Amino acid sequence: MDQQEIETSGLSRRHFIQGASSVALAAGIFSSSSLNALAASVPGKKGGSLKVGVVGDVKDLLDAHWIVAIPDIVRLNVGFETLMVYDENFKPTYKDGLAEEVSTKDGINWIIRLKKGIEFHDGKTLTADDLVYSWQRLSNPAEKHSKALRPFLNPAGVSKVDNRTAKLTLLQANADFMVTLATYTSTVVPVGYQNYAKSPLQIGTGPYKLKSFTPGVESTHVRHKNYWDSGKPYLDEVRVLSFSDTTALTNALQGGQIDVAINVPLATLPTLKKNKKLDVYSNSAGKITPICLVIDMDPFKDVRTRQALKMLINRKNLIKQVLSGNGRLANDDYSPADPNYNANKYPMQEQDATGALKLLSAAGFSKSKPVVFDLKAPDDDAALSGLAKAFVEQVNTASGGVVKATATTVASGYWDTTYMAPGVNAFMTYYNPKPYFPQFSGMIFSYPETNFPEPGSNIKDLYAKALGEVNPKKRAAMVAKMQKEEHERGGYIIPYFVNAADSYSNKVKGINKRNSALPLDYYGMHFKNIWLDK
């Protein structure tokens, strides 16, 4: 799951920049000035207060580098910015980021130069000292958020070059470190920054600065007058309101008490779409809700059991049943926007009960000795518990009794007590969209949910090598090998990519409806592109 989104890895992008010269070229194409000029030419009305609703509770927190739940992601994004930002193909770009240029020659030494004239909320100018502090905080092994970054960077590897430039020296080559720079939790904070629990003063460079915050109730963010992206932001303030559940959230949107509802249930989309006062934005960037089968536990130790279960499901029907059609087919794979997605061109797995039963029989299972397991799901996400139930029903029916699975919805506490707990062999998880390598790293290192790979596998070495490989073709070949092993022996069943849906009043303007890692195109790019038409 996505408790922590800091991912340090990379992948071979078509646009991988081989050395500083092509970085400069990319910087030219995406120069902030030309794009800002374009954006500024779209007239937006100034003023107004935007009310954003999101399901949250007393656990809501505010830390520029760490999130637990969706409201934390929203609040982090209002006040803090990263060096680079993904475009719709998950390629890191300079537009909307704080970096003017990022370059490397060897994948180990990364030079980052900041844009000129960026001011923090308290009027201080952003310098390389802040950059050094931010990356030292991000990579500090004593901090929770450093986990994924730890193999790549420690605080000693962060140094200042000049007033606007800093250098990151990685512990191992990572040709696609830009992905980490563009991860939304890799924000830049001023020297001395502490999270809200330690200091209510939350200073960042973002378009709105924090005025008040009460966990489980609301936060108010007011316009940053000296924001660097000229002419923006438009609103006077952004208010993030916490809701106890999605029913209250969607009611408030339909009743007009809030302008934006983040993460509305897919089942409500038909109603919301009918409402002429509302807009619905369904993002299909590749969110997944995998069924995790732990591969070193019975009955999944035998690879044939895993394969058979993948063949027993009808993916199209699952999309209809669980997502009301709001998703697209996946082949137990992930990161569909990645250039190396499905590198081996595997055909989509159709339901094949005969083939599956052959495998199960070969593995020693029959009606009298069925495959028995209990699939656990949390009660706080209907997409997860719904899939668990539908999956179990399908495999039981299609196998004619050779599989006897059950699904259990665990009342609150799932993520503490059940998820990845010892002895639990089948459970649900979810991941927001991200490129192939960070997703791989998440599933293997940060959250080893299925205990993949099997003993003797060299996939981890392959991953490390591929990370350091600067030649895109060579990397693609390595990725293909990795995907082959995952496809043939993996413990994840991923039947589809889930659309993430948000809805907002049609008075809300300026949202770029593109696929993005975060809802509403990074919440209207930290809400700076959003304006209210009254």
Partner 1 sequence: MPILKFIARRLGLGVLTIFAVSVLIFLVTQAFPSDPAQAILGRETTPEALDALRQELGLYRPAVTQFGAWFFDILQGDIGKSFVTQLPLSDYIAPRVGNSLFLMLVSAVFSIPISIAVGAFSALRRDQTFDKVSSTTSLVLAAVPEFVMGTGLILLLSTSVFQILPAITLIDAGQKPWSDISGMVLPVLTLILAVTPYVSRTMRASMIEMLESDYVEMARLKGMSERTVLLRHALPNALGPVFQVIALNLAYLAGGTVIVERLFNFPGIGSALADSVRARDLPAIQFLTLMIAGVYVLMNLLADVATVIATPRLRTSLK
Least Å distance, CB 78 to partner 1, is 17
Is residue 254 a contact residue for partner 1 (CB under 8 A)? yes
Interaction between residue 226 and partner 1 (CB under 8 A): no
- Residue 382 binds to partner 1 (criterion: CB under 8 A): no
Q: Which of 36, 140, 195, 251 binds partner 1 (CB under 8 A)?
A: 251
Instruction: Read off φ and ψ for residue 290, nearest 5 degrees.
Output: -65, 150
In whole angstroms, give the CA distance from residue 56 to residue 263: 11
Cβ atoms of 106 and 173 within 8 Å: the answer is: yes
Rounded distance between C-alpha atoms, residue 290 and residue 429, angstroms: 6
Beta-bridge partner residues of 222: 209, 237
Query: Considering beta carbons, is residue 273 or 481 the nearer one to partner 1?
Result: 273
Q: Taking the CA atoms of 418, 422, 424 and 426 in sequence, report the sign of the dihedral they define.
A: positive
Min CB(326)–partner 1 separation in Å? 21
Per the CB < 8 A criterion, the answer to whether 10 and 92 are in contact is no
SS3 call for 85: strand
Choose which of 197, 348, 362, 372 interacts with partner 1 (CB under 8 A).
Answer: 197
Distance CA 377, CA 374 (A): 10
Residue with tokens 């049609």: 506
267 touches partner 1 by CB under 8 A: no
Residue 248 sits in the site that holds partner 1 (CB under 8 A): yes
25 or 248: whose CB is closer to partner 1? 248
Q: Pick the closer one to partner 1 by CB: 216 or 401.
A: 216
CB neighbours of 411 closer than 8 A, spacing ≥ 6?
379
Backbone angles phi, psi at 529, to 5 degrees: -90, -10
Choose the binding region for partner 1 from 92-100, 169-177, 240-248, 305-313 (rule: CB under 8 A): 240-248
Sole window of 27-35, 101-109, 394-402, 411-419 interacting with partner 1 (rule: CB under 8 A): 411-419
**DSSP per residue, 408-452:** EEEPS-HHHHTTT-TT--EEE--B----HHHHHHIIIII--SS--
Tell me if 243 contacts partner 1 by CB under 8 A: yes
Q: Does 416 bind partner 1 (CB under 8 A)?
A: yes
* Count of residues in contact with partner 1, rule CB under 8 A: 34
Q: How far is the CB of 411 from partner 1 (least distance, A)?
A: 9
Least Å distance, CB 202 to partner 1, is 16
With residue 178 as reference, give the H or E element that holds it: helix 178-181
Q: Which stretch binds partner 1 (CB under 8 A): 179-187, 202-210, 260-268, 414-422?
A: 414-422
| Binding status of residue 417 toward partner 1 by CB under 8 A | yes
**To 5 degrees, how large is the angle CA 38–CA 42–CA 46?**
125
From 33-41, 54-62, 227-235, 262-270, give the range in contact with partner 1 by CB under 8 A.
54-62
Nearer Cβ to partner 1 (261/525): 261
Listed ranges 32-40, 226-234, 336-344, 415-423: which one lies at the site for partner 1 (CB under 8 A): 415-423
Rounded Cα gap, residues 380 and 377, in angstroms: 9
Footprint of partner 1 on 61-80 (CB under 8 A)? 68
Task: Specify the DSSP class assigned to residue 201.
Answer: -
Q: How far is the CB of 503 from partner 1 (least distance, A)?
A: 13
Q: What is the DSSP letter of 125?
A: B
Residue 419 interacts with partner 1 (CB under 8 A)? yes
In the complex, minimum distance from the CB of residue 63 to partner 1, in angstroms, rounded to a whole number: 13
Measured in whole angstroms, the distance separating CA 425 from the mean position of its chain's CA atoms is: 25
Angle formed by the axes of helices 382-398 and 303-312, to 10°? 100
Name the one range near partner 1 by CB under 8 A: 51-59, 158-166, 342-350, 464-472.
51-59
Tokens found for residue 496: 């589809």
Question: Toward partner 1, which CB reaches closer, 292 or 363?
Answer: 292
Query: What's the closest the beta carbon of residue 441 comes to partner 1, in angstroms?
Result: 15
Q: Which stretch binds partner 1 (CB under 8 A): 37-45, 210-218, 448-456, 463-471?
A: 210-218
- Binding to partner 1 (CB under 8 A) within 360-379 occurs at none
Sheet holding 99-104, edge to edge: 99-104, 109-114, 165-169, 158-162
Nearer to partner 1 among residue 68 and residue 353 (C-beta) = 68
- 253 is written with which tokens? 């949107």
> Applying CB under 8 A, does 454 fall inside the site for partner 1?
no
Looking at the Cβ atoms of 344 and 412, the one nearer to partner 1 is 412
The binder of partner 1 chosen from 201, 420, 462, 480 (CB under 8 A):
420
Q: Per the structure block, which two tokens stand in for 286? A: 């590749």
Compute the least distance from the CB of residue 509 to partner 1, in Å. Answer: 22
Per-residue mark of binding to partner 1, 1-30 (x: CB under 8 A): --xx--------------------------
- Contact between 49 and partner 1 per CB under 8 A: no
Residues 6+ away with beta carbon under 8 Å from 147: 4, 6, 446
Alpha-carbon span 219 to 213, nearest angstrom: 4
In angstroms, give the least distance from the CB of 147 to partner 1. Answer: 6
Over the window 131 to 150, marking each residue x when it contacts partner 1 by CB under 8 A and - when it does not, the resulting string is: -------------x--x---
The nearest distance, CB 349 to partner 1, in angstroms, is 32
Can you state the angle between helices 303-312 and 472-489, rounded to 10 degrees? 90
Integer Cα distance of 274 and 534 in angstroms: 21
For residue 412, state whether it binds partner 1 (rule: CB under 8 A): yes
Q: From CA 98, how far away is CA 525, in angstroms rounded? A: 13
Indicate the DSSP class of residue 349: P
CA separation (Å) from 202 to 181, 188, 199? 21, 12, 7
Binding residues for partner 1, per CB under 8 A? 3-4, 57-59, 68, 144, 147, 197, 212, 214-218, 241, 243-245, 247-248, 251-252, 254-257, 412-413, 415-417, 419-420
